[in-house]
Amino acid sequence: MSRIEQDMRDITEVVNRRLDALLDETCEPGILMDAMSYSLKAGGKRLRPVLCMLSAAMFGEMHKALDVACAIEMIHTYSLIHDDLPSMDNDVLRRGKPTNHVVFGEAFALLAGDGLLNCAFEVLLNYAQKNRENKLDVISAMHIIVSASGTRGMIAGQSADLEFEGKDVDAQVLHYIHERKTAAMIKASVIAGAALFYANEADMKALCLYGDNLGLVFQIVDDILDETGDEKKLGKSTGKDKDAEKMTFSRVYGIRASQRIAKEKTDEAICALERFGKRANGLRTLADFMLERDK
């Protein structure tokens, strides 16, 4: 196991434990909590929390970003639950398990998604309440996350994705959709971790550039894996985008060119980290890891 894989595993364990505790704090036992917990615990790469924690570690104590990282994962999980619903992508497999609505029914899946989004804000607000004396800039971190997950960010991307399904669109629309649908929250994970510790403008700018490129790479690789990946390894159905005539990088550019673009963007992401020297080793290796991933 590589160093970054070990780091990711360590962070993931801490995040998983904290997610459990946070769910206990914000929910009452019952079907709703079971449904929320089911998707939250279904695994996944925990990429966004890892990004947030690695970025935070460059500016302060990593563990102080834990609740922010968990809130981001809650938002990501809610978006997956709602995305999988029959009225949306109608997916039955996610992270190698039956999707939320398959197990709990549509109504509880809907509420579990709503619940996780609301919970994320509760977690962030509780943390903001505890940090009233400006030791940490929780408000700025929240602002970054909520903008990225919102109606100019992730939700706008999902909406555009629906709107253009089956339509012949160009590269510009493709970028519009993916910048919002996936890249926005990936970028937010990186910069929220830094904003929490009052990172300066130049550092934030560099991390924005890293996040923009990384977000794009993530989506391109996702598109490629949807066509060429192993369903078992990925833990989700493949070929769905093609079936639904969704806009993907591999559809617009072809697999080869998509791989080339992904490599270029990874280089650009890593280049943006230059000013941080060795402190950014984690983020640097993570970018390479994301390019090479097969799940």
Instruction: Provide the binding-site residues for a second copy, judged by CB under 8 A.
Output: 26-28, 30-33, 36, 82, 85, 87-88, 105-108, 110-111, 113-115, 117-119, 121-122, 125-126, 128-129, 132, 139-140, 142-143, 146-147, 149-152, 155-156, 158-160, 162-163
CB of 163 to a second copy, least distance (A): 6
**Is the CB of 30 or the CB of 277 nearer to a second copy?**
30
CB of 244 to a second copy, least distance (A): 12
CB of 143 to a second copy, least distance (A): 5
CB of 30 to a second copy, least distance (A): 7
**Is the CB of 62 or the CB of 195 nearer to a second copy?**
195
Query: Distance (Å, rounded) from C-alpha 238 to C-alpha 230?
Result: 8
CB of 279 to a second copy, least distance (A): 28
Bridge partners for 98 per DSSP: 93
CB of 21 to a second copy, least distance (A): 15
What's the token pair of residue 236? 């989700």
Phi, then psi, of 65 in degrees rounded to 5: -95, 5
**Is the CB of 28 or the CB of 292 nearer to a second copy?**
28
What's the token pair of residue 53? 């924690």
Query: Residue with structure tokens 């980290």?
Result: 273
**Is the CB of 29 or the CB of 277 nearer to a second copy?**
29
Query: Distance (Å, rounded) from C-alpha 162 to C-alpha 188?
Result: 23
**Is the CB of 13 or the CB of 163 nearer to a second copy?**
163
C-alpha separations of 285 from 38, 52, 221, 223 in Å: 30, 15, 16, 22
CB of 166 to a second copy, least distance (A): 13
Query: Distance (Å, rounded) from C-alpha 174 to C-alpha 244?
Result: 15
**Is the CB of 54 or the CB of 123 nearer to a second copy?**
123
Q: Which of 74, 92, 90, 5 is nearest to 37 (CA)?
A: 74
Q: Which of 112, 119, 109 is nearest to 88 (CA)?
A: 109
Q: Which pairs with CB-CB distance under 8 Å and at least 24 residues apart come from 269-273?
A: 269/209, 269/210, 269/213, 269/214, 269/217, 270/210, 272/206, 272/207, 272/209, 272/210, 272/213, 273/206, 273/210
**Is the CB of 57 or the CB of 142 nearer to a second copy?**
142
